[in-house]
Amino acid sequence: MPEYRNEFPFDPGAEVSWTDEKWLPALEIISRHEGEGFRDGQAAVYDELEKRLGKTPAWRSNEGGGKYRSIFRDYPQPWTRTKLLDISDGKLHLTPRGKRVLAGQLQPADVLILMFQEYSEDGEYPFGIIASAFLEAHEPLDVRDVFLGVLKRFRPGDNLAQAIGIARTETLNDRGARVVRMMLRLMARAGLVKDVGPSDLGPWRAWNAELLQRVARSATRSVSAAALGALPDRAKSDFEDGGFFFDEELVRRFASALVTKRFVILTGLTGSGKTKLAQAFAQWLGAPYAMIAVGADWTNNENIVGYPDAFDPKSFVRTPTLSFMLDASGKPDVPHFLILDEMNLSHVERYFADFLSAIESGEALHLHDGENDRDGVPPTLKLPSNLFVVGTVNVDETTYLFSPKVLDRANAIEFRVSDDQLSGYLQNAATVDLTRVAGRGDTFSAGLLTASRSPMPESEASKSRLVSEIELWHSVLSQFGGEFGYRAVSEIRRFIGAHQLLTPTTASSFDAAFDAQIVQKLLPKLSGSRRELEPILVAVAVLCERQRTWVGDPPSIDGSDELRKAAIRAAKLDDLSLHPLDEHSEPRASTMSYPLGYGKACRMLQRLTQVGFASFAEA
C-alpha cells in the first residue's frame, strides 16, 4: 500500500480565522487597505480589524520590544490557501476570488470546497483522498482512522477496511490529531461531513455525497469531461457580460489548443480580439498573466531570459518574462499565462529558439554558468508545466513571417470578423471591462491545468476515424510537397481528445476538431508561389468539401480510394470541374465535411490568383 510519508504540513494557523463570519467583514476591511503593507503589526489595517471584529483571532500580538506579530505574516493559510488574498509581494491584495466573495457572488462554503479541490501536497490531493474514503466507508470514521488509515495508507482503489484496521492498532500523536481535526472541521463547515461523536475526535460520517464526489475527483487527478465540457459556453457568456464577444467554438478551440500544448499562436485581422481573448481567458480563470510587448530589436534570447551582469559577478539582469517564469515555478498548481504581443515584430527564431527547444524537449533553459543561484536566479530553469505561452501575430510590412519549424510547434488560430459578427457588434457595442469577468471561471482552473498534464481520452471510434483521415490526407498531400510528420499527427490526436473533453458529453466533436486541425496544424505551414501551392490547396479543398460516409465498426471512410483519386486528379489541375475557383466547376455541396478548411483553402487560392503568392497569415 502507498504510505503518506509526511506529517501532512497543512498548518491550520489561527483556527478561528477560518470561520465564515470572520471572512466577509475582514475582506471588506482589507479591501480598504488594498496595496498596503502588512508585515508590520502596527499597520493601520490591524487597528481597523480589531476595532470592528475584536482581538480574536489575534490579528497581531505584542512580542515585546515594540515588535508585533502579524497574522498575515505568520498565519496566512486561511487567506492564501483559499485564494482570497495575494500577499506574495508583502502587500495586501484581494484576488478575483476574494472580490467575488465580497460582492456576494461566491459563498464561503464554496470557497472551502474550491480549496479542497485545489490543495495539493507532493502531487497528491489530501482532501480528495479523505472525501474518497468517506464515500467508501460503511461506518463512521474518527480522527485516528482518517490520519493513520486514510492519509497514510489509503488511495482510491485500495482496501479501505484493511487500511482502517491497521490504523486502529496504532497510537495517534497530538500533531496528527490536531491537523486532521482541523481538516474535518473545515469539511464539516462546507457541509461535506458531519460530526456524530461525543467530541471533536469524532467519529465522523459522510454527510453530502454530491459535495464529497466533487472533492474526491481531485484525489486521482482525473479530468471530468462533464465539468470541462461546460467551460466554453460559460466563458462565452461571461465574456459577453464584460463587453466582448467570441464564438463558443473559438473559445473551445483556444482552450483545446492550450490543453494540447502550452504554446498557442493567435493570428489574423488586426483589432479582431486576439490579445483580448488571451487576457480575458487568463483573468476569467483567475490566473496570473504577464503581457510582454515584443520589440523589433529583439535579436537574442536575452530579451526573454535576461543575462548575467558583466560588471557585477553577483548580479543578474532579469527580464519581466524571467521573473514571471520564476513566479510560475514557485506556484505549480496555479496556471500562469505569458502573452507575447506582436510576436513577429522581430525574427522569432532569433529570440525564441531556446524557448521553443525547451518546450519541445523538456530540457532546462541555461541561464548562467554559476553553480549556485545568482541574484536569486538559478543556473538553469525548466519551463514550469503550469506556464502557458500565447503569442499574437499581425501581418504587415513591418513584421516577419513565421518559419514552418515555429508553426509546427504550435496551434495557430486565425481570427476573422464575419459580416454577421460585425453587425452583432454594432447592435450590442459595449465598453470592454475585463474586471467584470475576473475570477468567474476559477472553478475550471485546476481542471484545465490537470488536463494539460494528463493523457487525453480517446474512443475506439474516434481513433479509427482519425487513422482513416490521416492516412488519406498524407497519401494525397505528400505527392505535392505538403506532407506532415509525427509531431503534427501526435498533436492532432491530442487536440481531438482535448476538444472532446471541452465539448458537452451529449455531443460528438470529431468533425469540428479535425476541421480545426486542418486550419491550425496542416495549413499554417504553407506559403509560396502559385506554382508551388495551387496543387496542394486544390487538393485540400476537395478533401474538405466531400462529405464522409463512415461504415463498419470501427468506422472507416466509405469510398476512401475514390476520394483520394479525385483529390490527386484535382491537384494535377487536369479536371477544372474540381477546382473550387473555376467558373465551370461543379456546384459546391451545401454541406461539407470540413468548412473551416475549405474556406481557408479558397481564400489562399484567391490570393494566389491575385498576386501569385500566398501564405496562411492574412493582414
Q: What is the DSSP string of 69-135?
A: EEHHHH--HHHHTTTSEE-TTSB-EE-HHHHHHHTTSS-HHHHHHHHHHH--BTTB-HHHHHHHHHH
* Whole-structure pTM value: 0.69
pLDDT at 181: 86
Q: Which fold has domain 115-220?
A: Arc Repressor Mutant, subunit A (1.10.10)
Taking the C-alpha atoms of residue 458 and residue 240, their distance in angstroms, rounded to an integer, is 32
Pairing of strands 289-293, 336-341: parallel
Q: Which residues contact 590 (CB under 8 A, 6 or more apart)?
A: none
Q: For the chain, which ranges sit under pLDDT 50?
A: 1-7, 221-226, 584
Q: Taking Cα atoms as reference points, which of 111, 38, 103 lies closest to residue 78?
A: 111
Q: Taking Cα atoms as reference points, which of 583, 576, 511 lies closest to residue 538?
A: 576
What letter would DSSP give residue 21? H
206 backbone dihedrals φ, ψ, rounded to 5°: -60, 145
Taking the C-alpha atoms of residue 556 and residue 549, their distance in angstroms, rounded to an integer, is 8
What letter would DSSP give residue 553? T
Residue 62: count of CB within 10 angstroms of its CB: 11
**466577509: which residue's cell?**
24
pLDDT at 123: 58
Query: The domain 226-451 is classified under which CATH number: 3.40.50.880, 3.40.50.300, 3.30.465.10, 3.90.110.10?
Result: 3.40.50.300
What phi-psi label fits residue 241: left (phi over 0), alpha (psi between -120 and 50 degrees) or beta? alpha
Helix (H, G, I), strand (E, B) or coil at 397: coil
Taking the C-alpha atoms of residue 523 and residue 526, their distance in angstroms, rounded to an integer, is 6
What are the residue ranges spanned by the domains of the chain? 15-105, 115-220, 226-451, 455-480+519-615
Residue 540 CA: distances (Å) to CA of 270, 334, 477, 565, 566: 27, 40, 8, 13, 11
- Would you mind telling me the total number of residues written for the chain in this entry? 619
Taking the C-alpha atoms of residue 34 and residue 29, their distance in angstroms, rounded to an integer, is 9
